[in-house]
Amino acid sequence: MSIEVLLVSDVENLGEIGDIVNVADGYARNYLYPHKLGAPVTDSARRRIEKIRGERDAERTADLDGARERQARLSEIEIVIAAKAGEDGKLYGSVTAAQVADDLREKGFEIEDASVELAPIKELGESEARIKLHAEIESSIKVRVVEG
């Protein structure tokens, strides 16, 4: 026997908040309801979900706007990293995404190491790094490696 449940939280492989899903009666009673992941489909539950959706949409919009602002500021940035190199211009080590993220943090950007996409740079010169600011927004910055 199945029952309609209003999801009050995202449930992997089932649905997102606000979705009305058909699940087995026991799954709803024994898992979704006790863990506060779902609620019976009632008018008050629908109103509660609409309020949560509104708050979540406002939060997503604010996050997206913040990412667009950071994207505009990042487009003007060039990172210069000094590294030791041999006579042929090959670096003794390599410049990594973590070093780029550290430099961006010093410049006032809140960037995680994992959001910087950069193949290790092993020679002097100019490269490009992509910065993942949001699920929908990326920015590119120039990374210049100089003898140092």
pLDDT digits (tens, 9 = 90+) for 125-147: 999 999 998 888 999 999 999 99
Helices (H), 1-148: 25-27, 43-74, 97-106
* Confidence at residue 47, expressed as pLDDT on a 0 to 100 scale: 86
Beta strand pairing call for 20-24 and 125-132: unpaired
Cβ-based neighbour number of residue 21 at 10 Å? 18
Pair 50, 83 in one domain: no
* Number of domains present in the structure of the chain: 2
The last residue of one of the domains, among 39, 69, 99, is 69
Q: What share of the chain is helix, strand, coil (3-state, %, to 5)?
A: 35, 35, 30
CATH of the domain at 142: 3.10.430.100
pLDDT at 16: 86
**What does pTM read for this prediction?**
0.67
DSSP β-bridge partners for residue 20: 6
At 52 the pLDDT is: 81
- C-alpha span between 83 and 96 (Å, rounded): 11
Range(s) of the domain holding residue 105:
71-147
Task: Give me the residues of the chain with pLDDT under 70, please.
Answer: none
* The total number of residues written for the chain in this structure: 148
Provide the pLDDT for residue 99.
93
The reported pLDDT for the residue numbered 61 is 92
Same domain flag for 64 and 77: no
Q: How many CB atoms lie within 10 A of CB 135?
A: 10
Domain stop point among 38, 69, 100: 69
